[in-house]
Amino acid sequence: MKALRSKKLAALALAVVLLAGMLPVGVSAMSGCTDGLHKPGDTLCPANWNSETGGYGYDYYLCTVCGAACNANGGGEVFVGPENGCSGGYKCHVPDRDNPYVTACSGNTDFYYCKACKKIVDADGTVADVSALGGHTPGDSQKPADYKPCVGGHQSPYYICTVCEAACEADGSAAPYTRGTGVHRPGTTLYPADWNSTDGGYVVEHYICEDCGWGCDAVGNAEMFVSPGDTCATGKHTPGTEWHEADYTSCNGGYKSGWYECSECHQPCDAEGNALEWEPGTGEHTRGTEEFPADYTPCFGGFRESHYECVACHCPLDAEGNVIEPE
């Protein structure tokens, strides 16, 4: 009997670990939402980040349980402060880990250039204060000031470090970078979507900013330039080789058909590379009829009271059908 109980507890512990591994970053299995995930409402709220108050950089839902912002999968969305917005097409900075800022000079490898706007950010995408960093070796030629009101830049001439290619002053200190407003000045011509697999381009109609030459919409929001190899941004993914079975349950949601993982962006897609939508569940579990006895022990933990299982996802439930966790 003890051996059977130990096996059952070990299996339960493994299930909890696996569940925790599947949860989105920032959402724990012991969060205020009883099943470890938020319950997205029916209304998709638009991205609302701005440079004065901050906000959410992506479209989001509001959790019907705790009111937190979340995505369609129930994962929490991150509130982005006003100082962290990106003028290069993203609402949040994206650290380019292949393009670190100051490596051989100061020995600091914790800063990167943003993929979109080229600001210096830390590993989390927060704008970094590098004014105190020095140790650069300025080149022989001075670069002209390149500040643009929309994307920012250097308001004074500067040099390029011959070691790490960072902008610097004649004394080797970091050249100050002035943030832009993030608002572009669209021209009068509306250009069609022009992405192609050779040159890249924009996947939507766009104007050209008269200050910086980037693509933008009619009110000055940046449009994303998509590189030639980034087919995911065009809606066409590259399926990997591993097949995943459909995992939809009425309570937790999931994918109603089997899927592959895109080898580029790791999003689920079908065999033709079409993106698959995660189907939300109701959040309501259906209690089975079999009652499992309490099995808590001080050494192994477990459930202090008898419990049931959901007939759809097999998670543990109390008599009222609420999800419970082992102690």
> Coil, helix or strand for 83?
helix
d(CA 216, CA 151): 12
Instruction: Report pLDDT for 247.
Output: 80
Question: Residue 25: how many CA atoms within 13 Å on its side-chain side?
Answer: 3
Q: What whole-number distance in Å separates Cα of residue 42 and Cα of residue 30? A: 24
For the ranges 2-6, 116-120, 261-265, the lowest mean pLDDT is seen at: 2-6
Predicted pLDDT at 96: 74
Task: Calculate mean pLDDT across residues 81-92.
Answer: 56
Judge whether residue 81 has pLDDT over 50: yes
Tokens 């880990």 — which residue? 97
Rounded to 5°, the CA angle 306-74-72 comes to 140
d(CA 35, CA 32) in angstroms, rounded, equals 9
**Residue 155 has what pLDDT?**
92
Determine the length of the chain. 327
Amino acid residing at 324: I
Distance CA 75, CA 327 (A): 24
- Please, which residues bridge with residue 309 across strands? 316
Query: pLDDT confidence of 13, banded at 50, 70, 90?
Result: very low
> pLDDT value at position 188?
95
pLDDT value, residue 86: 62
Which pLDDT score, from 0 to 100, does residue 15 have?
A: 38
What pLDDT, on a 0 to 100 scale, did the predictor assign at position 210?
A: 94
d(CA 271, CA 278): 16
Helix (H, G, I), strand (E, B) or coil at 186: strand
Give the pair of three-digit tokens for residue 118. Answer: 């080229």
- 291 CB neighbour count, 10 Å cutoff: 11
Note if the pTM is more than 0.75.
no
Number of Cβ atoms within 10 Å of the Cβ of 31 = 18
Q: What is the pLDDT of residue 244?
A: 85
> What pLDDT, on the 0 to 100 scale, is given for residue 190?
94
Helix, strand, coil % in the chain, rounded to nearest 5: 10, 25, 65
Rounded to whole angstroms, the Cα distance separating 53 from 47 reads: 13
Confidence of residue 157 (pLDDT cuts 50, 70, 90): very high
* pLDDT, tens digit (0-9, with 9 covering 90-100), for 233-281: 667 778 888 888 888 877 777 888 888 888 766 778 888 888 777 777 7
Instruction: Write the CB contacts of 253 (distance below 8 Å, at least 6 apart in sequence).
Output: 73, 74, 278, 279, 280, 281
165-221: per-residue pLDDT in tens? 778 889 888 888 887 877 889 999 999 988 887 888 887 889 999 999 989 989 888
Give SS3 for 45: strand
Residue 22's H or E segment, with its range, is helix 2-22
pLDDT band at 7 (very low <50, low <70, confident <90, very high): very low
pLDDT band at 139, cuts 50/70/90?
A: very high
> Quick one: DSSP state of residue 12?
H
132 vs 219, residue with greater confidence? 219
